[in-house]
């Protein structure tokens, strides 16, 4: 009952209320990125959702589109702006995903939506992460985030799928707020971004 009825209702009202409360912050970040990113404050990318249905996720854009002489994007650490680094550290870049939740593409809590190109690389066990809607935050995010290996992350995702409940969702939301304030788990211990998933 919670998974199919209460959770979608909670997601809708929680995201709507959050958008209204956070609208001043949303507007402030929007203006800053509009200026620093040459008029491009948002980042859009296709991601797989529940049952692998593709949707377009929206986030605040924290990196520029700078390219090398061959037309290839520069490494992440060379494209992220000072404003972008702060926005990412404080997880403010995730705020626009509340719109995805409002639309029904995502949930407040669930496995994080990963890249479409990973779909063909998953094992049958790993594919089970798509049995539920992806979330803005999730069980893996409060248990290590980018400091986890891919296997550890997938195991935590499937744990959430198998144990989804109101109590677990509230626990994840509470601990997510705590981690944002402490800025924990944003990067791996060597400060590099999470390495791409290359299959099993």
pLDDT of res. 189: 37
Domain assignment present for 27 = yes
Domain assignment present for 198 = no
DSSP H or E run through 19: helix 7-36
pLDDT of res. 67: 83
pLDDT of res. 182: 65
Domain assignment present for 104 = yes
Domain assignment present for 191 = no
pLDDT of res. 68: 80
Give the closest residue to 137 by CA, choosing from 11, 9, 3, 1: 11
pLDDT of res. 190: 38
Chain segment 155-166, per-residue pLDDT in tens: 999 999 999 999
Q: Number of structural domains, the chain?
A: 1
Domain assignment present for 113 = yes
pLDDT of res. 188: 42
Domain assignment present for 24 = yes
Task: Spell out, as residue ranges, where the chain has pLDDT lower than 50.
Answer: 187-191
Read off the pTM.
0.87
- Can you give the residue range of the structural domain that contains 174? 2-182
Domain assignment present for 14 = yes
pLDDT of res. 105: 97
**Which residues, other chains included, contact 124 with Cβ-Cβ below 8 Å and sequence gap of 6+?**
none
pLDDT of res. 145: 74
Domain assignment present for 192 = no
């Amino acid at each position: 009952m919670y998974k199919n009825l209460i959770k979608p209702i909670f997601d809708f009202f929680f995201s709507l209320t959050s958008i209204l409360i956070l609208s001043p912050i949303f507007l402030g970040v929007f203006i800053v990125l509009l200026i620093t990113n040459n008029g491009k404050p948002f980042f859009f990318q296709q991601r797989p959702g529940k049952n692998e249905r593709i949707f377009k996720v929206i986030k605040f854009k924290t990196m520029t589109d700078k390219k090398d002489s061959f037309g290839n994007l520069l490494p992440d650490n060379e494209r992220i702006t000072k404003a972008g680094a702060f926005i990412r550290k404080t997880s403010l870049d995730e705020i626009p995903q509340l719109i995805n939740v409002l639309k029904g593409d995502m949930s407040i809590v669930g496995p994080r939506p990963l890249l479409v190109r990973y779909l063909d690389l998953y094992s049958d066990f790993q594919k089970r992460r798509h049995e539920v809607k992806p979330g803005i935050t999730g069980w893996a995010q409060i248990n290590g985030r980018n400091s986890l290996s891919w296997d550890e992350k997938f195991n935590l995702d499937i744990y959430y799928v198998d144990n989804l409940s109101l109590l677990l969702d509230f626990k994840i939301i509470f601990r997510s707020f705590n981690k944002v304030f402490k800025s924990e788990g944003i990067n791996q211990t060597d400060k590099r971004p999470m390495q791409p998933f290359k299959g099993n």
